[in-house]
Structures are given as structure tokens and as C-alpha cells.
Structure 1
Amino acid sequence: MSIKPDSNAAFHLFIDQAMDFAAETDEHNIFAENDRNYHQSSSNVYYMWDFGDGTVEVGPFVSHSYQTPGHFIVSMNIVDNNNCSSDTLRFSVLTIAPPQVSFNFSDFYCISDTLFISIGSDTANNISIVPQEQTGQDVFLYKDTTLFIPDGPSCSTLSVNVPFLVNTGNPATIVGPDAIRSVCVNMEHSFAGDLSFQLTCPDSITVVLDSYDNSGSSNLGIANTTDGTPTCDSAANPPGTGWLYCWSDYYNHQGIMNNLDAGTNPIPPTDTINNTGYIYPENSLVGFASGGCHLDGIWTLTITDSWVYDNGYLFGIQMSLKNNSTDTAAVLTDTIITGPGIVQLPGGQWAITGIPAGTFQYHLVLHDSLGNNYSYPFPVTFTANDFATEIHGNGTTDVSMIESYNTDYHQGADYLWTVTNGNVVNGQGTDSIQVLWQNSGTGLIQVAETIGNCTDFDSLYVSIVGLNELNANDYLSVSPNPVENTLCIDALQTISDIEIFDISGQSTGIHIGNVLPGSKTYVPVSNLSPGIYFIRGFNKGSRKEIIFMKQ
């Protein structure tokens, strides 16, 4: 892409995409006054690049990439070894990040079902698409010139029309009440009250920045206040020194020009670094956005000198737009899904139907308003009653114990559990449950996992050890078991430091102490909650335990 000065051109990059920038190096094309005072060549000048993101490079050939999406102004100028600088070449770079896409599909779909694919901006949809927001600086558009503004009534025309081209390559309209931050002129002119200014967008919407009031004696910039002869000849009227003056609704301002032209002489310039000294426009700049002005095209600044005497020069025009003040973000224009059995439905939605069992690859293809295409692959698995459902958990347990069991989680599945010789006490309908085993012998857990119209099953047999088997020992016995009010402890050996604990290992506060062989100890347990408990003591330094159930 070739860029010429004052074209206000733009081109588009993806973030992290390296772009090579090359400056013209042909001495015949870039050194218009070569050898007039000294020799200039590409070997004794510096090519200075500012990429608008804090990066500066030197050289005729450089490479750069941007890390964030946004609108950046790139500027380049040439400085020779005598510190003489060329005009500044400026253009825009619009960096784009692909939309953030996430997929939210179930692990399996039944082959007899039709999968309706929902697309939206949140994860409640099967496909979530979120455009990435732009960052970056405000957009500045420039035109550099040295244009004589003759004394209107004394010359052939009252007005000077200064066109400047904006060519970003995007058919954007200006949006937002503060879209245009400022419109600026760099100029000098004696008696600002002689002048009026208006700006016209490519759609012929005109905003009056300052009207003619034939009042005041304040100058713009360091004006050349002496009219030469002939009056309308620029050679006879050399320029003074231009200052920057910016109209803005957005920044703090010093008033309208028709008031300022009767005040401080010269009128104080605008400081765009500290954002002071702006001039309030007579017509709001909002008119460009509300009128539907497009950014690209030819804008025209009209300067009219309506009073005899006095002239001046225009050195440049500058327009600042808020970042994202145009529809420069890449707008998605088309969404396509490709793959086996895919069907497009009205309203931009999609469905998959008539697919055999297996895993298939699909592609989401997005097109945006800047001509970019994005492709995102994603798999979908269809099954015929086979989800590899499998129950995990202990195959051996004790009566009255609570055990946890689970099967592999599959998104979108429903789970139905049934238990023999026990009860599901928590988790029914999910992939993980807790079971209270109630009777000794053999227990059975079954699960039915359903996705759509397909169901898979698994079973697990569990061996349940009863209380009598648990308590078969040669040191203690308890009765009755289960117990309701009073528990009898019959010692077969000497047991010391006897205490009762609940099933979690926490002490119940019931301390029995020591028992001797052949003795019986009666312990009231009516205050205990129903459940499983342990009697724990010691024999010759070895811990001994026996289990009982409180009804």
C-alpha cells in the first residue's frame, strides 16, 4: 500500500501481526532542494517513525506489531544531518483482534435427537461470540499546507475552500455526541474579526465554527500586519508565525472567537497537550454525528475574509476524533457453520440432524465488515446409548456406613440412581451420590444416564459387613445392638480409658474409664442422636474398637 502526504489513509492489521514499513529512498523524489545549500542523501538522513503506541524506530525500513486492538496514528519524518526536518507523513493503523469465541456443547448427543445450536454473546449459548473492544489513542486527521488567505474584498474571492481527504478504507459514520473532540487550524492573520470559519463533511453537512462579526482587533498567531503590494499576491505578503487554534465542545474553552477577537492580542493559542485554550464553536460539532456524516471522503474548511485590509496564512488543519467515535470496530456481517448434517434455520440459527454415532469436526466461520474471515473448529460427539457410563466407589462397606459413589460427568446428562439394601441420602439426579447402607449382605447400585433420547446404564454390587461381624472379637462385646437407651459393655479382657466417639471420630463426652475381665458396665446413651458410634479403649497399649448403632 502506497501512502501519500495528507491522504489521511489507514490500513488494518491483526494484533501481533508484524508489518514492514518502507520509506521512499530515491533522492530525486524526496530531496526537492538537494545541493542548494548542501548535499542530502538517504545515507545522511534519519527516518524517524512514531507508531503511536509508545514505540519509536529509526531507519528507512522498519517492522512493527501492535499488542492491543485500537486506532493508532503512525507518523514519519526525515531529519538530515543539519537537523532540517521534512514535512510529517501521517496515517492511521486500525488493529483488530479476532472475536472471542467459546463453545458450550454437551459431551454427547443422541443420534436420534436434532441438536439446535444457539449463538449469542454469553455462555448460556452453545456458541458465545464477543467482539473485543478497541483501545488506543484518539484519531487525528491532518492536512499540512502553506496557503495564502488574501484580503477578501480586495481580491477576486471572499472565501478560500481548503479540501482535505480522509481515506481510512472504512465506510464508517461518525457516532456519539462527543465523537469529534476538536477541529484545529494552524494559522496567522491580523484582525481575527474579519474572518469566518465553517467546516463541511463529505455528506454536505456544514457546521459554523465562527461567524463574521466585523469587530475586534486581536490577531491570530504572530501576524504579518503589513499588507504588501499587490494586496492579492502572496509573494508580496510573506507569512507570519502560525499558532494552533482549536474549536471544541468537549474540552474546557476560553469562549467563542467573536468574543476573543476583542480581547488579548494575539488570541491565546490552544494547548493540545494540557487541553487548554480551546475555542467554543458557534454551532456544535455534534451536528456531524447527528447528520450522519461519513468519516471517509473530502472534508472542506471554508475561510471567508469579509473586510478590507489584512491577510494571513493557513499552515495546517487538524481534526481529532474520540477513539471508537466511528464504526471502525469490525462488525460481524455473516456467521456460517460447516460440517456433517448441518442445517441453517431462519433467524440465523443452525441445527445438526441425521448424524450416525461418532465424533465429527465442525467449523464456525465469521466474516466482518472489513473483509476479514475467522475460522474456529469445534467437535461434536453423537452416541447411540453408549456414554461409557461407569460407577466408581467402594465395593465393600459396613452396615450403617455412608459411602460416596459417582459416575463420569457428561454435560447435559440426567442421572437416576436406584439402590438395594440402602438409601440415596444425597445427590439424586446428579453424577455423584451418597448412600446409607442399612442391611448386611449384598447391596446393588444402579444408574441410568440419559442424554436426549439415549440412555446408558451401569451397576455395582457392594458387599455389606453386618454389626455382628464387625464386632466379633475377644476383648469386648456390647448389647443390645442396635441400642435405644442403655448399652451394656461386657469386658473379656482388661480394657482401659474407654470412651465413646461418633462416626466422624469426635468424642461424645462419654468417658467410661477402665473395665476388668468378666465385668459388665451399663452406659446410658439415650441422649445420643441416632447413628453409628465407636467404643474405643486400650489393652496392653493396643487400641481396641467396637461399633454400635444408636436408634
Structure 2
Amino acid sequence: MQKNIFILAIAFFIVNNLFGQTFNMSNTYVNTCTGKFYDDGGLASSYSANANIKMTICSDLPNREISVHFNSFDIENSYEFLTVYNGDSALAMYMFDSVTGTSLNGVTIQSIGTGCLTFVFTSDGSIQNSGWDADIECVLTCQDFSNSITVSSGSVNNSEISLCNNMPFYINLYGIYNNNDITYHQSDSTSIFEFAYNSNIYFGNNIYIDNIDSNSNHAVLTITDTNGCYISEYYTINFLPMININISSSNDTILLGDSIVLNANFFSDTIISQINNIFINNNVFFIPDGSGVSYESIINVNSNYNNNILDTNMIKSVCINMEHSYSGDTDIELKCPNGQSVLLKENSGSATFLGEPIDDDVNNIAGVGYDYCFTQISPIYGNMTNEANLYKYTFTDLAGNIYTDQDYFPSSTYLPINNFIGLIGCPVNGNWTLKVTDNISSDNGYIFNWGLTFDFSLFDMDTVFSTVFNSFWSEGNGSIIGSDSLNATGLPLDTGLFTYYYNTITNDGCTYTDSIIIFVDNVVFSEKLFNTVNSLNIYPVPTDKELYMQLDLIKPYDVNIEISDISGKIIKTLSFKNLQAGNNTVKEFIDFENGIYFLKIQIENESMTRKIIKL
């Protein structure tokens, strides 16, 4: 049987290749899910001179996208072009605009939601290169999905993960498949999860991470479903405060029946500077040509600090990763949640580049972004108006164009045009907006991400502190008879070592615990009492029934005993006339309710009181 299957497989392979279709570039409309795709010269010849050809290739199967992989691609650079549209006509949105040279060599182009790709090829009359060789196939249409993250210690808020400082943690990753089974099946069991953090890549959707680095402040989650469709999301990592706890007690050794007073306090040197101080928007947005047209991107700040900006240094920096081919074209403005704003960059600097753009109004392919941070805290450069046209570089853009001695802004820190004093009074929490205005109908660019960094160490400690903690005492093998957020009273019920715990829990779920151990002596009472008694022992304490009192009297005395509850009400009285000198043992049945009581012994004008516990 295995041999027959093998032979059939070979036969299928041969037939499939014998009858594989070949499509040369031509003014036609093709429905297929397999075959070879060449320029109009085919496999053996070069393409035509002065060509202007449009060809559409569509999937001939339902719920499939057309995919074209270029094994080789070589047309005359800067004179011959191939444009690819996502759809069945040249009126569709283009995916690759006026590609030239060898730019598509090794590239796969796949339709998105249309099942069709339209190719438009133009050549000149002089030089014809080898053209292209490509494979056609159909793939299942991707079903949109999203992700969700939970952490064992800390919290997740949108694209921010707040972790407990120096604490290993479990991270659980989930896919949310709202379009499952429309064309194929999706589930966590068939998806591949990759979580990149601190130079490591973790696989699986339940991950234990103990390689913690407080200097590593980002992670990337990628989920790939069974169809090869994937999503990637960038997460900002914030490290929550390390809480230090100190516990003290009134004594470290007590006698059975005595209570112990416990006190705790906690603090953190990094409590404020490490709480949600970096906020990033990773959504790429295009800055097309325009004349006074503005484009906006928003970061929603949701921090533990609920008041306003009171000092310009509270805003450490505003950083933008971007590229643009004409500095004199753009204004960049920062608006805070209440509408106050400052200008970070104004439309000056003429043709000074930001990043490495593709300086071509027809080509809207993104270039390479550089990081530009605007700050008033020791910036390396002045504002961009004063720094324009001072620095030059040479580079090759992503379309293959070479720029020599081009004016540009180095990636670094710059002084903003407006002082951040214009943001005094802004609420920290809420929507912060980056507004980019394109002033000239030429040149374009991209912003790949931008972020705000606050210095919370300058903020009011009490405001943040009161919103972060929930603290309480808990019993180990010791009994607590009263407590508040900082203090407790313990009453051990036996002799030996007893442990009391103090717990501090942040609103993000980070738990910090410290403990104290108290030793309880096995001698209940033994002491020289004034002039009437050599020693006094009362046992057992606690008791469930019988109580013994041993008195070593100096000489015969009348002895009176009162037992009262914690309110002071006398429960029982005992009187003994003319007890002899030396040791005397008094036995008494404790037949009242469980609780704490006080035993008072009166001998002539001397009295002594001891606590007893009825269980």
C-alpha cells in the first residue's frame, strides 16, 4: 500500500508540472491558482521595448487571496517600472508604486481582501534587462484576529505591561478569533505564540519569565495562525515600585498570656519614578502632501498620578521616530488633555531631511525613521530651526536612490521651539495629541511611533502613594486580636515561636511581605511580689476548664481573689482565710464563656493583676 501511494504521488507531481500554466505579461484578465508568471518576453526572451501593459490575476477559488512570489526581478533602474494594485483594476489601491531596478527580487506580493492583483508594466526603448520570473499560488484569506495578555504579578493596560520589580512572573497569551471558521479554523492550540523580551524569544502561550531586567522596557508579541497569518504588537514594559517593609514589636520575648504590640512601615526609593512614566503610540501614520492639512495621533495616558503638570521638567521628553524629505514643510505640535499646546518643530529648514526618506512625490513607500527627542533637560542640539542645514550625510534609500552630502538632522535630542512652560497646568492623565501639519503640496513622510516620558520623581509623593497600596496584617501561628493598616496586637495562645506577617499589595497586584517572630516563654508568672509573696504561678494559660494558682506566702495571710471580664465587670470572687506560710495551691473551675479575663489577687494592702484566657 505504501508503494502504491508513493507511485501515485510521483504521478501527480509529473502531471501537475506537465500541465502547469504559464502566463506572460499581456493585456488580459486571468483566473488561476497556480502557474508561472513572466514578463511579456517569457522565460527565454527579454521583455518588449516601449511596453505599456496591464494584466490582472485573480484567484479562481472562493475565499482565497492571490499570491505572487518573484524568484527574480530585473528591469532598467529609474526608466522602467512595475506598479502593483490590490484589486482587479488600476483604480484599486496600489501596493507597490513604480517599482524599478531589482526591488522585487525575492519579494512575495499578496492581495488583501480582494483576491486579485493588477500589474501595470512600462518600459522605454533603449535597454531591456532580463525581466522577471514569478510563481503564482492562492492562499486562504486571512481572518482578522487580535490578542490578549494577562500577567501573574502586575497588570496589563492596552499596550502597557506593568511588572512587579525584580519578581519572576507568568505571562498568559491568548488569541481572540472573532472570525473563526469563516474560511478556516483558528485556535490557540493551532497558533504559534512568540514573545520577545530582554533579548530572548519565548514560545508558547503560558510562559514563565525569570530573566528580569528593569532596563529592558519593551516586548513584542507575535501570533501566527494556522494559515500563516500573523499579528504583532509592541508592548511597553513598566516596572512597579519595590516596597521595603520594616516591622518592630514591643518585645521579642513575652510570657504566655501577655499580648504583643506590632508596628510596620514601608517605603520605596523608586516608588514614583518607576510607575507608568513612559507612554508610546506605535501606530504608523503617513504624512502625505498637503497645503495646511493637519494629521493627529493620540496617546491616552492612564497613570497613578492624577494631578497636573507643575514643573517643566516633569515632561522629560517627547520622542518621535520619523522620516520626511523636507523639513520646511512641517509643523509638529504637542497638545495636552485640556487643549494647551507647544510647538516642537516649526516649518523651517527648507530641504533638510529627517531620517532617510525616499524623496519622490510619486513613490509613497516608507523610508527609514530616525529618533528625534524634544527635551529641555540638557539637549545635545538646539531647536531644529537653528540646527537646519548644518549637518550632511550620504545614504542609499530603500528604492535604491543615492543621496550625497544631503542636509539632515542627526538622530538625537533637540530643544523644542516653544518652552514646556506652555504645558504647566495640563492634567497628566487623558489624551495627549501629536499634531503634524503639512504646509506645502510636495514631499511626504511617515511617523512610525512617538512617545512621552514623564519624570514622576518630581510629582507629589502623597498623591501617588495613597493610590497604590493596600496593607494588612495576617496571622502565621500567632493570634491577632486587633489591627489597622500599620499596627496590630497579637496574643499567642501557647508557648514557643510565633510568626506574624505584614503584607503590602499594590493596585497592580504586586505583593510584598515581611514577618516577625516572637518567643513565648513557658513560665507563666514567677516573681517576687512586694512583702507578702515570694512567688506566684498561675497555670495553665490559656485554660479550657481548671486554673491553678500557686502562692508562696511569707507568712499566713487572708487572700481575696476577683475575676473580671474585659469590661471590668466582676464575674467571680474567692476568699481564703488565714492561708499558711509557704506554698499554697488554689484550684478553681473556670466555667464562664470563652474570652479574656483578669485575675486580681489582694493580700492586705498589696494587689497584683494577671490576664487569663478561657478557651
TM-score (norm 1): 0.48
Structure showing greater radius of gyration is 1
* Greater RCO structure (CA 8 Å; 6+ sep): 1
